[in-house]
Amino acid sequence: MQTLARWSGRLALSLALLMAVLVWTSSASAYPWMIRKEYTTCNVCHADPSGGGLLTPYGRSLGVTEMGMKYKSGDDDPGKVGNFLFGAFDLPEPLLLGGDIRTMGLLAFQNGQQTTRFILMQADLESQVSIGRFRMNGNLGFVHEGALKASITRGDDLLQNRLISRTFWAGVDIGKDNEVLLRAGRLNLPYGIRSVEHTAYVRKTTRTDTNDAQQYGVAASLNIEKVRGELMGIAGNFNIRPDDFRERGYSAYLEYGPSTKVAVGASSLITHANLDIVSAKPTWRQAHGIFGRFALSPAVVLMGEANILSTSNPPANTAIGTSAYVQLDLEAVQGLHFLITGEMKDESFKTLGVSAGGWASLWWFFLPHCDLRIDGIYRNEDNGSGRTGIGMLLGQLHLYL
């Protein structure tokens, strides 16, 4: 009876979170809160039709006029500073270039111990060349540590100081207005909310973050007036060896925007690996969820995502769980954001308890193509053998070229 009560309670909590997110809606782009400016799609600003990464010229201009802090009124001209390398030179129309440098200072508290670290999170260069309807897109970066699944060099004996390539692909635009893009290569998985919070529970439990969770495969994306979506056939991560550790399957999302202030969608992912990279067992992995965003006013955006998770090690061992988050973004004045985020996960209703976290964040776009973010995070996590409280203070400085 206690087991049944535990299952019922957690299922009720999961369904409540799913319903809450459905009512209070969100989407999938690098800055999903741009719906406050009535931008419900990502392909007008990003080369990737599902958002994130290399910017189009239009996206660069918005970074100055609609995202950055304005220190004087009436200045809506991005000027040359909105161009690549802050306008040092003009690029030919078929060529897009960009770069991201992101550093982070971390102060963490766990079990009475304090840890301080400085991390170079991102040092990437990005490019795209277009010839008519044909496109070639690629990313090359350097990391001191982390992002192992995106590595293209081994680095030193500690697997540090490596070159990585998060994405590279070739594609062709189809349709009268290029509303369909077919592409193949190493791609971000089309699933849920695509945002910079790659450590969020919803991204880690579904393995769909943009740090190093990309997979090789083929994808078709659709962008029309009120509907956008993408379906990807996953061939595996060829950076991982041996082949038994590579996942194969599909990942997809579909989003509908009934108005310029509301967008709701659903995601689905199923993969299989002969040996899971975490458990080293034959594994079927599934994630199915809903997401959405809602502009309550020009200053306030509410967004969230909720997923049902399934991990199976045939013939009998199956774990069912969930993950979800809700985030409120208040833009006090243009370029200055205050965010409150609540998140939870329970990856196995049978064996684990609910892990929950809260974020309080300040995000300041203080200069063109420059932003500073400070996050205070507390998580109470159940790892199966007990609970751990983890506190973190993060400071990030981001510059995009």
Q: What are the pLDDT digits (tens) for 49-101?
A: 998 889 988 888 888 888 889 887 766 777 777 788 887 888 899 999 999 99
Residues 351 and 12: their CA atoms lie apart, in Å, by: 17
Which residues are bridge partners to 375 per DSSP? 361, 394
Helix (H) or strand (E) holding 10: helix 2-23
Residues 58 and 111: their CA atoms lie apart, in Å, by: 48
Helix (H) or strand (E) holding 18: helix 2-23
pLDDT, residue 306, reads 98
pLDDT, residue 30, reads 64
pLDDT, residue 5, reads 40
pLDDT, residue 7, reads 40
pTM above 0.85, yes or no: yes
pLDDT surpassing 80 at residue 2: no
Contact 221, 189 (CB under 8 A): no
Residues 329 and 294: their CA atoms lie apart, in Å, by: 11
Give the mean model confidence (pLDDT) for residues 204-233. Answer: 95
The band of 43, judged by pLDDT with boundaries at 50, 70 and 90, is confident
Residues 29 and 31: their CA atoms lie apart, in Å, by: 5
The band of 1, judged by pLDDT with boundaries at 50, 70 and 90, is very low
pLDDT, residue 61, reads 86
pLDDT, residue 19, reads 36
52-61: pLDDT as tens digits: 889 988 888 8
The band of 219, judged by pLDDT with boundaries at 50, 70 and 90, is very high
Give the mean model confidence (pLDDT) for residues 121-130. Answer: 94
pLDDT, residue 74, reads 65
Give the mean model confidence (pLDDT) for residues 31-43. Answer: 85
269-309: pLDDT as tens digits: 999 999 999 889 999 999 999 999 999 999 999 999 999 99
Contact 103, 121 (CB under 8 A): yes
Picking from 330, 326, 251, the residue whose alpha carbon sits closest to that of residue 292 is 326
pLDDT surpassing 70 at residue 24: no
Contact 364, 335 (CB under 8 A): yes
% of the chain surpassing 90 pLDDT: 63
Pairing of strands 168-174, 355-367: unpaired
The band of 357, judged by pLDDT with boundaries at 50, 70 and 90, is very high
Pairing of strands 180-187, 215-223: antiparallel
pLDDT, residue 16, reads 38
pLDDT, residue 51, reads 87
Give the mean model confidence (pLDDT) for residues 384-388. Answer: 80
Which residues are bridge partners to 285 per DSSP? 311
Residue in the block written with tokens 């189809």: 174
Question: Between residues 261 and 317, which one has the greater pLDDT?
Answer: 261
Residues 105 and 115: their CA atoms lie apart, in Å, by: 11
Question: Between residues 319 and 11, which one has the greater pLDDT?
Answer: 319
Picking from 286, 298, 295, 279, the residue whose alpha carbon sits closest to that of residue 234 is 286
131-166: pLDDT as tens digits: 999 999 999 999 998 888 999 998 888 888 999 999
Walk me through the domains of the chain, giving residue ranges and CATH numbers.
2-400 (2.40.160.10)
Peptide bond into 315 cis (omega under 30): yes
Residues 137 and 49: their CA atoms lie apart, in Å, by: 12
Residue 170 burial (C-beta neighbours within 10 Å; 0-12, 13-18, 19+): middle
Picking from 137, 121, 112, 259, the residue whose alpha carbon sits closest to that of residue 187 is 137
Give the mean model confidence (pLDDT) for residues 318-344. Answer: 96
Give the mean model confidence (pLDDT) for residues 381-397. Answer: 88
Mean per-residue pLDDT of the chain: 88
